[in-house]
Structure 1
Amino acid sequence: MLRESEFNGVRSIALYCRVSTDEQAREGVSLDEQQERLKAYCRAMGWNHEIELFIDDGYSAKNTERPQLRKLLNSVKIGQISKVMVTKLDRMSRKLLDLLNLIDLFQEHEVSFISISESFDTNTPSGRLTLQVLGAVAEFERERIRERVFDNMLHAASNGKWLTQSPYGYQLVEKNLVINESEAAIVRRIFNSYLHEGKGYFAIAKQLNEENIPSRFNKEWSLRSIKLLLSNPVYKGTLVWNRVNSSKKKRQEKEEEEWVIVDDCLPTIIDKETWEAVQNRLNKKQIPSRAQSSPHLLGGLLKCGNCGGGMSISWSGSKNNRYRVYRCSNNKNKGTCTSKQFKADEVEAWFKQGLLQLTKNFSSEILLKLSEQTTDNRNINNEQKIRSAKARYNRKVEAYTAGLIELNDLTEEKQRMDQIIEALQSEEKHQEIDLEKVQKSIESKIGNVVNTIDTLPIEDAKALISTLVEKVVIKGEKEIEIKLSIF
């Protein structure tokens, strides 16, 4: 309850006194002595505001977790205090950083801080100058601490130690990630739904929520949580640290060269091939959500063979005999394309026939081209890993030059970089294209689509098709081109 003086806008003067157990017998630090000196100072300055005493008896200044200090800070925050007084700075805190954080809080709430022994008063020019000097020293110390902490965490991350809370699908046991089998089953289901069933973030989240399957901390699934899970390399056994700059209010992703990436150091839930396939799909231009929910089989996939524009659904025919047609959007909206319209039922039938013919017409040349696409993607990923390994080593060189790490740390990083480069270059040399395996994979996926396309709801059928087909180009009567996206 607020006192009458507080209702009148008059704030109190807070006198803070503290002694620790080993200081009880020391002259000049007793609680009574501190109180008398502070009250005498107030009388000498002519301050007749109401005084409040905050006394921590038997507490050290190693941290700010003291009951009366916490009570004082709460009074400051709600506007009850105008001045905070101590006999010496070390009564408030022996740590410079803690002291400056407290003074920052006081200034934020327009409360002056006074230490009578050091003649320190933040309301005076000399007090503010002293505060600025102390602040500069503290900022330097904060940076040094941040460097040491970062280096320690960098060393731990480079050796595969997990440094944050466990992601969904895992739990922390003695600072090591261990698979949580019940959650891991949901992770595998999400990857399968996205990669093999063609479902989007919304459809996956909606289904899990409808089945009352909670995400971490019993929260509902969202588009963002599904996307983050699908793109998290932890599930293939890779640790990635220092990816985001959290020192600013708005978190920003750092350049990839600054990331700490350690492969094959964590228990895996998703095999690498599946994870990479999901990333390929994530990075491809997705069909707009409106087209995904369109009740037309090739909505969002069908392109005009004349101008390359998208084909949209229109209606044609007489009042009693209306039928769907696919029509070039550039023809319909801009008049810049001269292509004709095509009956939708016929185009969709041609598409199904084309899928059936695909498995019978795969030449070695086509299979080789598809396999080379996979190899090229893998080589690009390997090049990125090599660049990251070299960037990590260069940072270690800088740290060693600055005296932040020992020579053995630098040597270990050099060995790690050499091992990564050697392993990836060896992988590229021994890559063999298994055409039979590629053909079986294609036939399996096409067969799955063909066998279920007529039995699924349109939305589910379109999702399944999107796992196999990147786009369909219509060039003329019964002439279509199907571009696959299975790699």
Structure 2
Amino acid sequence: METADLYVRVSTDEQADKGYSQRNQEEVLVRYCNNHGITVNRVIYEDFSAKTFYRPEWSRLLGQLKEKGNKSNLVLFTKWDRFSRNAGDAYMMINTLRKLGVEPQAIEQPLDLSIPENKMMLAFYLAAPEVENDRRALNIFHGMRRGLKEGRWLWMAPFGYRNARDSFKRPIIEIEEEEAAHVKWIFENLAAANYSSEQVLLHARRRGAKLPKNKFWRIVRNPFYCGKLYVPEFNGEKGHFVKAQHQALISEDLFYRVQDALQLKKRKRRTEIVSPEEIPLRGFLKCPKCSRNLTASASKGRNQYYHYYHCTSKCGVRFKAKDVNTSFRKFLSKYKPKKGMIDLFEMIFNQAFLSENKIDLSEKRKLKTAIEKLEQKISKTRDLYIDEKLDIEDYRVVKRRCEEEIERLEAKGTKIESIITQDIPEKVKKALGMAERLDLFFDTADLGIKRKIIGSIFPENIVFDGKQHRTARVNEFFRAIYKINSMIACKKISPKSKNSTLDRVVDPLGLEPRLF
């Protein structure tokens, strides 16, 4: 008596869950075995594509057929497309099964393979599903390419969006507000170029963004977020960008500013965002022995952690974080302008702002005049159309162009208005007040502000020699304050030595060159 393994296959999980195809196949196969006196050894259920034979259940069945105790000499399925949709792979698998003494057979398309002519029918049965698959895949490809050219996103929604359906039940993508806020924050901070991309990612994660590094880089390089989709090259048609139908999260200008910032080869040293409270100077200190940057870490004591700044080389430099922080606080107190300097700087800033404000007011008046002229142009064009002196299409073109220009000018005017209405003098006074008591402001600031203060004052790393801090260069603003104080504090005294080589007589004015 013959013994058979029944192979029941569907292509998708959905078909497998609904069960109509699997149940029908099993029922037909069992009935066939009962009518022909064939013993059913096992029933194999597969929900996998037939493009290849790398299928979980088929691989398990093939392993069982290769065992010595195998009792099956038939593998039955309803049609040949349940067996395979790849003619080349199917011929190889048929040969493998026949070497094991197992005959594959489709009960609704029976073939006696011992008859040579039947191999032509087998070729047809195997090739037809493959052709059907290829045609379906090609139709899907062209359909998706057409949708992409129309600006429609046809895949899973990327970070910042979610998949949805419109009123006609067509697939669309919508903004996911929480994720979108993270995307906007990332682009804005990368464009500002204040922090490295690694620090922006680290802080974004602390804000709640669940982003692995590779996903972060896909986001910041993807023009999808500024409302553009890329149609790849195909069949002689060059790749190009199209305007997307979904709502953009950022402007094109912001996207390309981020790309420019990321492509800079020489990047200035940027302030780190994240650092423990006990070591705010990490990344800003330089080793006094080998000139490498000092890092920082904590050592666990009996009852608490002790923080240290230390060098990564073999020089062995190591300082207690508490001593270094206290010394830096004293070092920072030197940058404290004397009485009268704040008023001087405030006056200079306010004068500069008033000068710029006059320019802004003048620009605002020009914008208002330009908008009025465009509105008059629309009115005149409308009159020409009413008098039948202008075609409807020409009227619409002129009106649309004028309205677009008016919208652009109004946006520019709104930006100027926002600048004018800002209370700049009060903000300047507040900022200079902080500069006046910088050491006290540093003590009360949170960690992020402290590190911004350090990064803005000292463009180069600070050296701590174990007792005090020193730096080769200071920001020009703070250097100006310190220089002015030094010049006021000292008296200009001419050299008393008669042997001095310094000239004490100013050269007389006259023609160049001066002759002696």
Q: Same fold (TM over 0.5)?
A: no
Q: TM-score range by the shorter chain?
A: 0.3 to 0.5
Larger C-alpha radius of gyration, 1 or 2? 2
Give the number of the structure with larger relative contact order, counting CA–CA contacts within 8 Å between residues 6 or more apart: 1
Give the TM-score normalised by structure 1. Answer: 0.41
Give the TM-score normalised by structure 2. Answer: 0.39
